Structure 1
Amino acid sequence: MNPLPRTCKFDLRRNGSEAQQAQFNISLGSSLTPTNNNSWLSPSGLYAFGFYQQPNGYAVGIFLAGIPQKTIVWTANRDDMPVSSNATMQFTSNGSLILRSTEGRETYLANTTTAVSYASMLDSGNFVLYSSDQETIWQSFEHPTDTLLPGQKLLTEVKLISSVSETDHSTGLFCLRMQSDGNLVQYPLENPFGGKNAYWYSDTYGKIDVTLNLDDDGHLYLVDVTGSIIKNITDGYPLEKTIHRLKIDPDGILRLYSHNFHGNSNWSISWSSTNDSCDPKGLCGSNSYCVVNYQKADCQCIPGFELVNRAN
């Protein structure tokens, strides 16, 4: 699955309303397969919604198709088993988005209670289902997985949850939680949420309806119910032809990445929640401890123990 890059048409100066006006509508009855007509592109070709390959099959998600290094930013039903190359995703005549496997299994990829008339993959990276009155019925921006994109907000009591690995996008070990007390906190996912289990926090207690926001220039900040910025996490990186994304990585560290269209094909780290790769609690399992080797976390067994799974 290699959608043709069309970065020459992408204009980073376009705002959300302009992108929505230029949207490509996806009509009822449209369908995708992993190996033929495998994605729906945004108007500029920067983002795509559709099938992407995993080591043991295919998953459905949103990815950056307009850069050489295809990057997954959202996954539908991330803990479902991958499907084979004979699967089909259909935007049915009644507005349901259904994934059908060759074994006859049907999975709904977006839950709606209002009639849907069409869909669009926007240049913001948001996949949206609309009513006949052009009202938003469902959008991927309200159901994040491990990544926050510019223009997307992390609302109160919503979490970013890390993936198992860079190639396995099912639920991993760590989360970033926008708490109702106004604090943005990182936790190991399996432990009860609470101060003793946190390994990074914004220290913004006592505010109401706080949201985490990311702007096009990489400005990452917290806003309260009045619309006031209560904390700047980053001040932004105003570079031309650059895109950003915030991700909680499989190792539990929150990182802000940037990609410059005039540079090489790699992502650069603009900011991270810690420079110590052993900071995330729970990175190493029972009877083990973490050491840093060549700036990467390495889990070592205490004397008398050995790894349960040497491949992990």
Structure 2
Amino acid sequence: MIQMAKQYGRQSPTTPFLMVRCSAPATWCFFSGTNNYVWESFNNPTDTILPTQVMGLGGMLFSRLTQNNYSRGRFELHFSNEDVKLYLVSRPDDHYYRFEMFNATNASESASYQLVFNESAYINIVKRNGETVPLPLISWRQSTFAPNSNNYYRATLDFDGVFRQYAYPRMRSLIDGDDQSWSVVRYLPDNICNAFPDQYGGSGACGFNSYCRAKGGTPSCECPPGYTLMDPNNKFGGCKLEFPQGCGVLDDELKDPMESYDLANISGLNWPYGNYEVL
């Protein structure tokens, strides 16, 4: 039983809410004290969807801010009548992943489309006529996905912008001693560091003034020499200068700029539109 006892710092009449498990598996519902339906967890996903969960047109997921900070993060997944796409919140008109498969001609046709995470652990788009279209295997890394009834599954838009599908063993294997923990079975995009087009601009996967390397689909964010993290607790929040920026004039003495700055060679990086073409 949950009661709302205060409002704006003042005592207010208590309003009891009863939280109970609904008929659908793993679904929780709120009912008011008068037994009116108020809220259901499956209808309000945040960063995760589960088997049997359905997302209607306009549905979305949003990442958390960091691994341990559940505030709203930098990435979103949107399902519309035209596509499924992933993008940065700061760049809603640009996407770093998109699956386009339909373009409904009227609102009644659009309203029937659904994104379904079915009981077999496949994520599909269901059309009005009942046709089922899976998210293409080519989009997923580790596309040889074979669901196992001995596992639990979930799909999460993680804080680093990667959409991952996870499995968790229902029972620990007594034969091989497998640990009971969530493991990644597939993910998209393949390499989020390279997923942003050159003309995209913006902060990319790692934030401004930083660079990104991916290993196994997981981005690692680093600061260039002379830069440090904006937030020491968030490697995905971008970097800042750790030295004062000037034009060679320090303490009223004119210095040769070549003595004030160093050029560092970092292999494997790309600076789109180099030579300051798009500042």
TM-score class, shorter-chain normalisation, is 0.5 to 0.7
The Cα offsets for residues 83-131 of structure 1, whole Å up to 9 and x where unpaired, read as xxxxxxx2x4xxxxx4879x9589xxxxxxxx99854224622112358
Task: Give the Å deviation of 1:298.
Answer: 2.6
Equivalent residues in 2 for 1:1-312, closer than 5 Å? 30=1, 90=2, 92=3, 98=4, 118-122=18-22, 124-130=25-31, 136-181=37-82, 183-191=83-91, 193-194=92-93, 197-207=94-104, 208-209=110-111, 210-233=113-136, 237-263=146-172, 264-279=179-194, 281=196, 282-292=204-214, 296-302=218-224, 305-312=227-234
Task: Give the Å deviation of 1:237.
Answer: 3.7
Task: Give the Å deviation of 1:229.
Answer: 1.2
Which is worse superposed, 137-146 or 223-232? 223-232
Separation in structure 2 between the aligned mates of residue 229 and residue 146 of structure 1, nearest angstrom: 24
Q: Which has more radius of gyration?
A: 2
Alignment CA distance shift 1:105-1:121 (3 Å): farther
Task: Give the Å deviation of 1:283.
Answer: 1.7
Task: Give the Å deviation of 1:147.
Answer: 0.4
Alignment CA distance shift 1:310-1:265 (3 Å): same
SS in 2 for 1:201: strand
Task: Give the Å deviation of 1:138.
Answer: 2.4
TM-score by length of 1: 0.56
Q: Could you say what the CA RMSD is over the residues aligned between the two structures, in angstroms?
A: 3.4
Q: What is the one-letter code of the residue matched to 1:309? A: D
Task: Give the Å deviation of 1:285.
Answer: 1.7
Q: Is the 8 A contact 2:88 2:95 kept in 1?
A: yes
Q: What is the one-letter code of the residue matched to 2:170? A: F
SS in 2 for 1:278: helix
Alignment CA distance shift 1:145-1:117 (3 Å): closer
Task: Give the Å deviation of 1:240.
Answer: 2.8
Task: Give the Å deviation of 1:297.
Answer: 2.1
Which is worse superposed, 141-150 or 129-138? 129-138
Separation in structure 2 between the aligned mates of residue 179 and residue 275 of structure 1, nearest angstrom: 22
SS in 2 for 1:177: strand
SS in 1 for 2:206: coil
Unaligned runs of 5+ in 1: 1-29, 31-89, 93-97, 107-114
2:245 corresponds to which residue? none
SS in 2 for 1:168: coil
Task: Give the Å deviation of 1:224.
Answer: 2.1
Unaligned runs of 5+ in 2: 105-109, 138-143, 173-178, 197-203, 235-279
Q: How many residues end up aligned between the 2 structures?
A: 205
Q: Percent identity?
A: 23
Task: Give the Å deviation of 1:134.
Answer: 8.0
Task: Give the Å deviation of 1:289.
Answer: 2.3
Q: What is the one-letter code of the residue matched to 2:229? A: L
Q: What is the one-letter code of the residue matched to 1:125? A: A
Separation in structure 2 between the aligned mates of residue 132 and residue 306 of structure 1, nearest angstrom: 53
Separation in structure 2 between the aligned mates of residue 306 and residue 119 of structure 1, nearest angstrom: 46
Separation in structure 1 between the aligned mates of residue 28 and residue 103 of structure 2, nearest angstrom: 33
